[in-house]
Amino acid sequence: MSARVAILGATGYGGGELLRLLIRHPNVRVVAATSRSAAGTPVSRVHRNLEGVTDLAFSAPSDAELMASCDVIVGALPHGASAEVLAPFVRRGMPVVDLSGDYRLRSLEDYRTWYRRDHPHPELIPRAVYGCPELFAEAIRGASLVASPGCFATAMNLALLPAARAGLLAGGRATVVAMTASSGSGAEARAGTHHPTRAETLRPYKVLSHQHVPEVVQCVGDAGAPIAGIDFTPISAPIVRGILAVVQAPLSAPADDEALATVYSEFYADAPFARVVSHREPECQSIAGTNYFEVRARSTADGNLHVVTAIDNLVKGGAGQAVQSLNLMLGLDQSAGLDWPGTWP
């Protein structure tokens, strides 16, 4: 029997990817794609890749109607608004996956500092499990609320977690430079994200102040290796999909490239979407549109960890990772509905 899923806030890129992934999911039936502004409009008018794939229309049901007709809620809403909208479903104990940042951080002070607002429902934060399947698969299986990681955070987590779990991080500050695609800025064009203003340039933004930093520090600490912080420079790149992150961190003891490759291969041995590469560099094209990620770890001449990782920002960094967690919550194989390769070229 298929689980009945509602996607709340389904007009954005994240919502569109959730629809693309879940409409053909073998164990799920999408019964609602909500949007107050687009209610009554066919989904395919907004997400053109779904023309002829679904006759679903956007709707604006009440909470009571959703509770009566759905088994699972997936939120693709903005930070702040998400916590408010999802709270009734969390309180009822319905399985909820939240793609916003509202339930990722356990510290209310960190949430206030990085998201510049007070959390509207702090009493619900202890219910949340951070949705990183590579580290928390068992906890996600038993969760009723999963806080899906941010896109940059996903790339950084995947770069650092194997070394953290192996006790190889010295606990100092990590340095990260990561380039991201235009789709990560959302469907609405703004001065800094509109294609003509970014097509021929690389533009740093939110330098040393990006809100994904504290969730990575929290996650790496949960893996057993607290770090002092992350000096993060995100860069807007003239591509549509993908994140390429270059991560460096002090090692607690010398480790050569072969040893690091072994550590990363062993950590990701049971991770269905991991590609630990050593014969080439990770890059975005080969994983575009998929839930796969590529990672390569090495050591620098002065004894630092150096990792390059590539993900699709909308799939592994967004909707795909959320579906991966949803699969675990429903007792399914975590790769259900996600296990296809990308295209090349």
CATH number at residue 166: 3.30.360.10
pLDDT of residue 198: 80
Tokens standing for residue 59: 């709707």
DSSP 8-class letter at 42: B
Query: Is residue 339 one of the residues assigned to a domain?
Result: no
Same domain, 132 and 47: yes
Same domain, 55 and 120: yes
- The one-letter amino acid code at 275 reads R
Same domain, 164 and 139: no
Same domain, 302 and 280: yes
Same domain, 33 and 58: yes
Query: Is residue 74 one of the residues assigned to a domain?
Result: yes
Over residues 42-78, the pLDDT tens digits come to: 999 999 999 999 999 999 999 999 999 999 999 999 9
Mean pLDDT value across residues 296-315? 97
Write the DSSP assignment of 119-143 as a string of letters.
Answer: -S-GGGGGGEEE--HHHHHHHHHT-
Residue in the block written with tokens 């049971």: 270
**If you average pLDDT over every residue of the chain, what do you get?**
96
Q: Would the pLDDT of 300 be above 90?
A: yes
- The one-letter amino acid code at 227 reads I
Domain of residue 250 covers 152-313
What is the pTM (predicted TM-score) of this model?
A: 0.96
Over residues 93-115, the pLDDT tens digits come to: 999 999 999 999 999 999 999 99
Span between the terminal Cα atoms of the chain, in Å: 38
Angstrom distances, CA of residue 75 to CA of 14, 166, 315, 320: 10, 34, 15, 13
- Residue 12: band (very low, low, confident or very high) from pLDDT cuts 50, 70, 90: very high
Same domain, 303 and 174: yes
Residue of 70, 151, 219, 284 with catalytic role: 151
Catalytic: 132? no
- Asked if residues 232 and 155 have their Cβ atoms less than 8 Å apart, the reply is no
Same domain, 120 and 160: no
Q: Would the pLDDT of 345 be above 90?
A: no
pLDDT of residue 189: 65
Over residues 147-161, the pLDDT tens digits come to: 999 999 999 999 999
DSSP 8-class letter at 307: E
- Asked if residues 259 and 221 have their Cβ atoms less than 8 Å apart, the reply is no
Same domain, 305 and 226: yes
Query: Is residue 337 one of the residues assigned to a domain?
Result: no
Query: Is residue 345 one of the residues assigned to a domain?
Result: no
Mean pLDDT value across residues 205-225? 97
What is the rounded CA–CA span in Å between residue 32 and residue 172? Answer: 46
Taking Cα atoms as reference points, which of 50, 10, 70, 68 lies closest to residue 34? 10
3-state helix, strand, coil in the chain (%, to 5): 35, 20, 45
Q: Would the pLDDT of 192 be above 70?
A: no
Burial class, 338, CB count within 10 angstroms (exposed 0-12 / middle 13-18 / buried 19+): buried
pLDDT of residue 149: 98
Angstrom distances, CA of residue 200 to CA of 75, 196, 239: 34, 8, 10
Same domain, 167 and 129: no
CATH number at residue 57: 3.40.50.720
